[in-house]
Amino acid sequence: MATITRYPFAAHLRSTTTMHVHHLAGGRVRHSGPGASFWFRPMSAAISEVPVDDREQSVLVPVRSADLQQLSAAGVVTYRFADPVLAATRVDFAVDVAKGVWLRTPLETVGGMIHGAAAAAVTSTLAGLDLRAALATPPAELATRVTAALAVDERLTAVGVEVVGVRFGLLRPEPDVERALQTPAREVIQQEADRATFERRAVAVEREAAIGQNELASRIDLEARRERLVAQQGANDRREAEEKAAAQAVGVRAEAERTTALAEASAQALRLTGAAEAEAERARLAAYEQASPAVLLALAAREAAGNLPHVDQLVLTPDLLSGVLARLTARAEDGAR
* Total residue count of the chain as it appears in this document: 337
Q: What is the pLDDT along the chain (337 residues), one digit of tens a residue?
A: 888 999 988 999 999 999 999 999 988 999 999 999 999 998 889 999 999 999 999 999 999 888 888 899 999 999 999 999 999 999 999 999 888 899 999 999 999 999 999 999 999 999 888 888 888 889 999 999 999 999 999 999 999 999 999 999 888 888 888 788 778 888 888 888 889 988 899 989 889 888 988 989 998 989 899 899 999 988 898 888 888 888 888 877 888 788 888 878 887 878 888 777 777 777 776 766 666 666 666 666 666 666 666 656 656 666 656 666 676 666 656 655 5
Angle subtended by helix axes 293-307 and 318-336, to nearest 10: 140
287 contact partners, CB below 8 Å, separation of at least 6: none
- Residue 295 pLDDT: 65
pLDDT at 280: 76
Q: Name the 3-class secondary structure at 10.
A: coil
Give pLDDT, residue 127: 84
- Distances in Å between the alpha carbon of 257 and those of 232, 250, 271? 37, 10, 20
What end-to-end distance do the CA atoms of the chain give, in Å?
194
CA distance 153 to 160: 11
What b/e readout covers 48-78, taking b as 16+ CB neighbours within 10 angstroms?
A: bbbbbeebebebebebebeeebebebebebb
Query: With left for phi above 0 and alpha for psi between -120 and 50, is residue 325 left, alpha or beta?
Result: alpha
Instruction: Kindly tell me the burial class for residue 11, based on how many C-beta atoms sit within 10 Å of its own C-beta (0-12, 13-18, 19 or more).
Output: buried
Q: Are 95 and 48 in contact (CB under 8 A)?
A: yes
**How far from 68 is each of 183, 210, 288, 314, CA to CA, in Å?**
20, 59, 168, 166
DSSP helix/strand/coil, 248: helix
d(C-alpha 203, C-alpha 209), whole Å: 10
Q: What is the pLDDT of residue 290?
A: 67
pTM for the structure as a whole:
0.56
Tell me what pLDDT residue 277 has: 79
Q: What is the DSSP letter of 35?
A: T
Helix (H) or strand (E) holding 154: helix 154-158
Q: Which residues, 6+ apart, have CB-to-CB distance to 158 below 8 Å?
A: 86, 90
Strands annotated E in the chain: 3-6, 11-14, 19-25, 28-34, 37-40, 45-51, 55-64, 70-81, 161-168, 172-173
